[in-house]
Structure 1
Amino acid sequence: MSATKFISPYDDKAPAGSEGWRELYPYYMLFHDNLKEREEAKFFFCDSQHWPNVFKPFDAITVEFFVRCLGAYNTRQWLIPPANGVDFKIHNGYCYMSPVGVSPELIGDRVPQFLERAGHYFMNWNDLLDNWHQKVQRVIKDMETLKFEPLPDVISIEDVKGGVGTDPSLQLSQNYNRLIELCYEVCMYHFEFLNLGYAAYLDFFGFCKESFPNIPDLAVAKMVQGIEVDLFRPDEEIRKLAKLAIELNVSAVVLENDVNDALSALATSENGQQWLAAWEAAKNPWFNFTSGNGMYSSDKYWRDHLDIPFGYLKTYTGRLLKGENIDRPTEAIAAERERITEEYRDLLPNDEAIAAFEGKLGLARLVFPYVENHNFYIEHWSLGVFWRKMRELSAIFQKAGFWSDVEDIFYFRREEIWQIIFDYGNAWAIGVPYIGPDYLPQEIERRKGILAALATAPPKPAYNEPPAVITEPFTIMLWGITTESVQSWLGGSDDTSSLKGMAASPGVVEGRARVITSAEDLDQLVEGEILVTRVTAPSWAPVFGKIKATVTDIGGMMSHAAIVCREYGLPAVTGTGSASTAIKTGDLIKVNGSSGEVLIVEAA
């Protein structure tokens, strides 16, 4: 008989060597003993979809800001009728979520307010979205203009004679505070349209489920697929560059050199220079793109690590030379979208029902591109600038001997960095040695040891007793957490060779599994394998030409993994709960993206 509830976070002890981990994170992100009764009454699940790894102290800022801003839009701006925000905690270094529902008796009062507020956005979508782009571009520009410079030996004579009256340490702390504020601001913009995109889709989804009781979830998703979004542009630019390399007869230079040698060699010929011009044009803005999801300081951005896009370029160029087609199957996906839409439209009983169907579908298609697009502008571009500026600040302390590696700044909470700035400015002002160099290196090593110990234990999928039935639509659509998936996490099946998840992208294939735990390991993928992972990032799309299918631990129909796989015509099963631990690299597996089933046919 399977268990009925998960372990309590209060009973889930941290691994040996991680003692003291709680002090690395803010008090409001932790489970506290005096709140045990209250916290154990909530169901928490691990959000490994957005935060699959243990957090460095500073990196937890992304959970704080993103989840807080999500809550404000649901609860205070849109008044989404059934859903408030999402409670969040860090436990043993991982992020856990608990969606907050609205009391049934309060839902009715929220409906007219939601319709007025959301209706205004739906009616003025394109104009408001243009305004959104301007706001986000302004934040990016404001971040870019912030300068972090070491304190001078003496205050400049110009400042003295100009009666400025402040010293440069003030600007250093002001610029740090401003950078944090800008990060906070852009996280707000992230959610301005996002949940409206989900709400419009859910409205159409609900209509379809009512009108066609037996319609599969996947059929509804197919009716809004075939979107052109900016999130796919980085990958498309690499494809174009691969085609241009062959057209200009410089493919050998691309294939036979690493990125630096290739770029140098290409600069020596006319055709090479023409190709380089296209490479440079693609870089801004499309190389503001990370191999991760942007939520961690350690994510590598293309513009800072040109070997990443160049590696994808080599793969595409090689495939073209073999005569393969490297284009996304956009026409086939669009044709399938229209076929299935017509099939269901024809089942409707009258003109009134058809008009409602077309209105809801039209709105879903209008707003749906934002569900993917915001990713490029926020997590990839904006956060890329944010992490880069933090490194510029860190370089000042590195040079002053506070730490040895520019990455070390991320081992401190954001309020601790203000103290470090003060130590630096204080010692400079008084004319004594900084305290930091004699205190911080040992503390960094201690914290590195704690985080390494935390990373030795995978996160528990959930805590406490789950609801008897999971009905909260965002939890189901985004994270793929359903009544069935939770039961499978609890060990509801004795068959360890079979996994069930979301039927996220159609198709049935068989192949060898490759279990990937981070973007760093993507180069291990061999052509024809099936990618198995906790969660994919949208930026993994360039490897989709190599693989047969994708299987993830977490993610619903509207997760990035599901959407990207549908747009690339790749079978996918998401939200299995445990695929990345149940399946081993080399296992022969069968993936049915149409039914949501994964079968281990033969162990490695």
Structure 2
Amino acid sequence: MADVLREYPVEVIRERLAELRDGRRWLHELDRYLLRYGGRSRWHELSLPREAEMPRMTLESIRLLVERPVAVRITPIEPGPSDADGVLAVGRFGYALKESHVYDIDYPGLLATREVLLGFGRRLLAEGRLSRLDDVWMLRRPELRSALASPGSVGIDAIARARRDELAQGLVEGPRPFLGEPPVQAERDAILEKFYGRGAGETHGSTLQGTGASAGHAEGPARLVRTAEDFPRVRPGDVMVAATTTPAWTPLFASLAGLITETGGILSHAAIVAREYRLPAVLGVRGAMARIPDGARVRLDGRTGQVTLVR
């Protein structure tokens, strides 16, 4: 089965596995997995397909794990003080609730919401009032409600096209740092900074500064990853550089030498998973995607948060 996952195009993997007895059993387990966790997507964006709608995403993630050797980092964890046992027990109980609610509430709810909105889009498409199904994501809620309540209404197609053009331009230009006049003193939120970091991003020559989120030193070629389409470019020993990560990016972590992100703090997804993998990580490095060339050799210190361009 591993050979099938490695050697065949993802479009025909299910067909090839179905020819094998163990493969059929494995596909049954895969379908059970998608029924439970298929509401997940690679980005937190309602307009993007979920794994249940596009199982190839799950197969691609499994292929990543099969193709890349796992770097086993056996580092003993120092035991904590004995008086923390009670707090630890409560924390473990609470963490189980935290983990489960994502799959029991968040993902199924978003998947159901997406299915309803796509149903509205198909109706407007069939009536000729939208030229593309995905244009339903370009409408605001009052506009969509009005269009559904008034079958004879027109004009939403032009609105959707204009917003799609605006979105395409925005993706090229990037987000504006602020709207209007810059504040004299930016407000800070200590709680949010714990999750997303301060984005300090100080730059001194070949050195960038972020937040040390997972201890350790790493050096290797930088691999810039903007979307899931870049996943196949990541090779064992790379230092991945990204804006942020989601759970769907986790299969990449096992073969990395280190991780750098533009956003995030010590409680972000990237930081937590990096610590689980004993992967040195520096987060909140403002401008990392622009400052670090793809393929350049970088060195990072996951404790001090320092990133250095070696060459």
TM-score range, shorter chain: 0.7 to 0.9
Aligned residue among 280, 305, 308 for 1:599: 308
| Alignment-derived partner of residue 312 in structure 1 | 61
Q: Could you tell which deviates more after superposition, 513-522 or 359-368?
A: 359-368
Q: Are positions 1:419 and 2:146 aligned together?
A: yes
Give the AA of the match of 1:385: A
Q: CA deviation at 1:461?
A: 4.7
* Cα deviations by residue, 1:453-511 (Å, 9 ceiling, x for unpaired): 2223223456523459x5x4312211112xxx44x4xxx65x13111111111221111
Q: Are positions 1:289 and 2:40 aligned together?
A: yes
In structure 2, relative to structure 1, the CA distance for the partners of 1:453 and 1:560 (3 Å cut) is same
The structure that is helix-richer by fraction is 1
| Alignment-derived partner of residue 264 in structure 1 | 15
Contact kept in structure 2, 1:292 and 1:537, CA below 8 Å: yes
In structure 2, relative to structure 1, the CA distance for the partners of 1:522 and 1:375 (3 Å cut) is farther
Pairwise mapping of residues 75-224 of structure 1 onto structure 2 (< 5 A)? none
In structure 1, the residue corresponding to 2:221 is in which secondary structure? strand
* TM-score, length basis structure 2: 0.87
Aligned residue among 438, 452, 477 for 2:168: 452
Q: Are positions 1:410 and 2:119 aligned together?
A: no
Q: Are positions 1:273 and 2:27 aligned together?
A: no
- Whose radius of gyration is greater, 1 or 2? 1
Work out the CA distance in 2 between the residues paired with 1:497 and 1:368: 40
In structure 1, the residue corresponding to 2:282 is in which secondary structure? strand
In structure 2, relative to structure 1, the CA distance for the partners of 1:373 and 1:578 (3 Å cut) is farther
Q: Which runs of 5+ in 2 are unaligned?
A: none
Q: Which runs of 5+ in 1 are unaligned?
A: 1-244, 246-250, 346-353, 425-433
| Alignment-derived partner of residue 33 in structure 1 | none
Q: CA deviation at 1:370?
A: 4.6
| Alignment-derived partner of residue 500 in structure 1 | 209
Work out the CA distance in 2 between the residues paired with 1:265 and 1:358: 50
Pairwise mapping of residues 275-354 of structure 1 onto structure 2 (< 5 A)? 275-293=26-44, 296-319=45-68, 324-325=69-70, 332=74, 335-336=76-77, 339-341=78-80, 345=81
Aligned residue among 89, 112, 116 for 1:389: 116
Aligned residue among 277, 280, 286 for 1:577: 286
Aligned residue among 100, 107, 117 for 1:380: 107
Work out the CA distance in 2 between the residues paired with 1:300 and 1:496: 41
Q: Are positions 1:537 and 2:254 aligned together?
A: no
Give the AA of the match of 1:473: A
* TM-score, length basis structure 1: 0.47
- For these two proteins, the number of residue pairs brought into alignment is 308
Work out the CA distance in 2 between the residues paired with 1:527 and 1:404: 44
Work out the CA distance in 2 between the residues paired with 1:573 and 1:273: 42
In structure 2, relative to structure 1, the CA distance for the partners of 1:364 and 1:262 (3 Å cut) is closer
* Cα deviations by residue, 1:349-390 (Å, 9 ceiling, x for unpaired): xxxxx74x5444444444245555544444433212221221
In structure 2, relative to structure 1, the CA distance for the partners of 1:256 and 1:384 (3 Å cut) is same
Work out the CA distance in 1 between the residues paired with 2:237 and 2:70: 15
In structure 1, the residue corresponding to 2:172 is in which secondary structure? coil
Give the AA of the match of 2:60: G
Aligned residue among 187, 191, 197 for 1:474: 191
| Alignment-derived partner of residue 25 in structure 1 | none
Work out the CA distance in 2 between the residues paired with 1:465 and 1:363: 43
Contact kept in structure 1, 2:70 and 2:255, CA below 8 Å: no
Contact kept in structure 2, 1:372 and 1:560, CA below 8 Å: no
Q: CA deviation at 1:270?
A: 2.6
| Alignment-derived partner of residue 167 in structure 1 | none
In structure 2, relative to structure 1, the CA distance for the partners of 1:282 and 1:372 (3 Å cut) is closer
Contact kept in structure 2, 1:501 and 1:574, CA below 8 Å: yes
Identity %: 24
Work out the CA distance in 1 between the residues paired with 2:263 and 2:105: 22
Q: CA deviation at 1:325?
A: 4.4
In structure 2, relative to structure 1, the CA distance for the partners of 1:281 and 1:403 (3 Å cut) is same
